[in-house]
A = this chain, B = another copy of it.
Amino acid sequence: MKGKIFIIEDEASIIQLVQLNLEKEGFVVSSSLNGNEGLKELKKFEPNLLLLDWMLPDLSGIDVCKNIRRDSNFKTLPIIMLTAKGEEEDKIKGLESGVDDYITKPFSFNELHARIKAVLRRSDPNIVANDLTFEDLKLDRIEKRVFRADKEIQLGPTEFRLLEFFLTNPKRVYSRDQILETVWPNNVNVESRTIDVHIRRLRQSINIKDKKELIRTVRSSGYSLV
C-alpha cells in the first residue's frame, strides 16, 4: 500500500500526466480541477498527501491550504505546492502558509516523485518505506527480512505475508476472512481455522521471552498487532 494522493490543479493535461504516473507507482489518486470542489472531495477522499496548484480558477492555493489547516482532521496533511516559473517569490509565502514543499512547473515526474517520497517519509513513514516497523519489530520488504529487537527472525513465506499485513495497520483487528482475502492469493480455498495455525507459528517466531505478546486474539473478531 503506497497511500492516497489528491491533486488540485486546473490544467487537465498535468493532472492526467501526474495521475497516470503516480498510479503506475502504486498510489491511489483522485483529483479536482478547482479549489472549492477540490476541498470537498479531498475531505471525502482522505488522502495521505495533496498536490496543490498555486493558481486556481476560484480560490488561490493559499486559501485552500489555509482551509485545510483549519480542519482538525487535515491539520497535518502534507501538501506539495505546484508553482509556475517566475512565482519563486511566492514560494516563501507558500511555505509560511503551511506547505511542506513546492515544485516549479514544468517539472519532471521523477523530481515530483522524489519530493513526494521525501515528504511522505517525514509524515507517514510506513507509506513510503520499504521497512514496516512497529515497536521493536521491523520488516524489510526489499530484503524480505524480519527483526525483533534487532535480532533477525526467520519466517516462512506465509508468516512473512501475515506479519506484513498486520504491520500495514497495527492495532487494527482483522477478521479471519479479511486476513484470508488479503494474505492468501485469491481464489485459494483454505479453511479459516488454518489461520489460527499460522498465527501460532508467527507468534512462536516473533515472541521473545520476557517480551510481551505482540499478537492479540480478539474472541469472535479476529487478531491484531498490539
User: CB within 8 Å of B: which residues of A?
Assistant: 1, 3-4, 43-44, 46, 126, 142-144, 156-157, 171-173, 218-221, 224
Within the complex, the shortest CB–CB distance from A56 to chain B, in Å, comes to: 21
8 closest Cβ pairs, A-B complex: A157-B220, A1-B44, A144-B173, A144-B218, A1-B43, A143-B171, A142-B172, A144-B221
Give which listed residue, B3, B44, B142, B224, contacts A3 with CB less than 8 A: B44
Q: Which residues of B contact A43 (CB under 8 A)?
A: 1
Residues of B with C-beta under 8 A to A4: 44
CB of A219 within 8 A of CB of B1, answer: no
A70 to chain B, nearest CB (A): 15
- Which residues of chain B are within 8 angstroms of A126 by Cβ–Cβ distance? 46
| Stoichiometry, copies per complex | 2
Of chain B, the residue at the smallest CB distance from A178 is: B122
**Nearest residue in B to A42 (C-beta to C-beta)?**
B1
Cα distance, A126 to B143, chains bound together (Å):
19
Tell me which residues across on chain B come within 8 A of A157, comparing CB atoms.
219-221
Asked if A143 and B156 make an inter-chain contact with CB atoms under 8 angstroms apart, the answer reads no
Instruction: Identify the closest chain B residue to A3 (Cβ).
Output: B44
Asked if A143 contacts B44 (CB within 8 A), the reply is no
Contact B1 A142, beta carbon cutoff 8 Å: no
Contacts of A173 in B (CB 8 A): 142-144
Residue on B nearest A173 in the bound complex, by CB: B144
User: What are some 5 contacts across the A-B interface (CB < 8 A)?
Assistant: A1-B44, A143-B172, A143-B173, A144-B218, A144-B224
Within 8 Å CB of A220, what residues of B?
157
**In the complex, what residues of B have CB within 8 A of residue A44's CB?**
1, 3-4
Q: In whole angstroms, how far apart are the Cα atoms of A62 and B46 in the complex?
A: 29
Residue of B nearest to A156 (CB): B219
Give 14 A-B pairs besides A142-B172, A157-B220 with Cβ atoms closer than 8 angstroms: A1-B43, A1-B46, A4-B44, A46-B126, A142-B171, A142-B173, A143-B171, A143-B172, A143-B173, A144-B173, A144-B221, A144-B224, A156-B219, A157-B221
